[in-house]
Structure 1
Amino acid sequence: MAMTTSTPKLRFVVDENLARFGRAMTLLRKDTACFGRDPVADILPLGISDSDWIPIVGNRGWVAITSDRRIRTRPAEALLAVEHQLRVIHLHGIGNTLPWDQMVRFASRWNSIENALADTSGPTWLAIQSNKMRTLNFEPGKPER
């Protein structure tokens, strides 16, 4: 009897601003894809604007992983995020850190991330900081600190 394997349902998409982290995530989690790479390269190509990918990701119920903090407050993007029930895991203050350090921060908060995502359908903004995780609201037009 032949054994069949099913492809896990896609759950997470990693923004191109975390490309190396994203490639590692796709190796570790089969429910994860990266912008510009299969299986989402045709709908989330490299260089896609935030205002174009937000409705795609939100409408599919995927969770975006990004380091772009301004999506939460830029008026057009934040309004789209709310409208399309976007859920975001934001690696806050990750800057030019190595992908390993990004992975350590992400993985060390994994149980909290899963619990927070289980409680909401969106819109959701999870800020993964070096010492804690915070849930924030999208705030169109609020200046960044």
Structure 2
Amino acid sequence: MPPRPAHVRFYFDEDVLGLAKVVAALRPEITYPGDPGAELHKRLRPPCVLSYTGAKDPHWIPIVAEQGWLIVTRDSAIQRRRAEVAAVRENGARMVALAGADAIGKWDQLEVLMINWRRIQAWADQPGPFIYSVTRTGSPRQIPLD
């Protein structure tokens, strides 16, 4: 029996590429730039529509938002990146930023992700635009988009 198509819901930005490859090897609904696709749990994830890394935020955010994917990134200074915030707002994107000193290495990023995973899954069902900043120990913080 051929695998059924995977329903991709999450896009991991290239700044968490190491984490993305670990998690995408476990979950068929996760993709990242350059993802060649995979078969997992009798689901076939297609190659990512962004086949390369190095795209600037104003280029890839609209593409990911158009797919309906929730973005996972690592950006402790997201509120100061006005072009990125504007791209999220203007394209109705949904973003979760792994923040703080606890999200620097792949292992620590995985911990922050897993501690917040149930929230992130729920946010994937919410309409955008929004950006949430999450850490290992603190409450999620919504970033103003204006």
TM-score w.r.t. structure 2 length?
0.80
Structure 1 counterpart of 2:32? 34
**Structure 2: how far apart are the matches of 1:30 and 1:82?**
27
Give the number of aligned pairs. 136
Q: Matches of 1:94 and 1:16 in 2, distance apart? A: 18
Unaligned stretches of 5+ residues in structure 1: 141-145
CA contact (8 A) 2:92 2:129 kept: yes
Q: CA deviation at 1:30?
A: 0.6
Q: Post-superposition shift, 1:89?
A: 1.4
Q: Percent identity?
A: 26
Checking the alignment, whether the CA contact within 8 Å between 2:78 and 2:97 is kept in structure 1 is no
Deviation at 1:50, TM superposition (A): 0.6
Task: Give the drift of 1:70.
Answer: 4.2
Where does residue 23 of structure 1 map in the other structure?
Answer: 21
2:8 is matched with 10
- 1:64 is aligned to 2:76: no
Name the residue aligned to 2:122. 115
List 4+ stretches of structure 1 deviating above 6 A: none
- Equivalent position SS for 2:140: strand
Shift in Å, 1:45: 1.7
Pick from 43, 47, 50: which aligns with 1:43?
Answer: 50
Is the CA contact (8 Å cut-off) linking 1:11 and 1:32 kept in structure 2?
Answer: yes
How far does residue 69 in structure 1 lie from its aligned partner after superposition? 3.9
**TM-score of the superposition, structure 1-length normalised?**
0.81
C-alpha distance in 2, partners of 1:116/1:133?
A: 14
How far residue 72 of structure 1 moved from its aligned partner, in angstroms, is 4.0
RMSD over aligned CA atoms reads: 2.1
Letter in 2 for 1:122: G
Partner of 2:131: 125
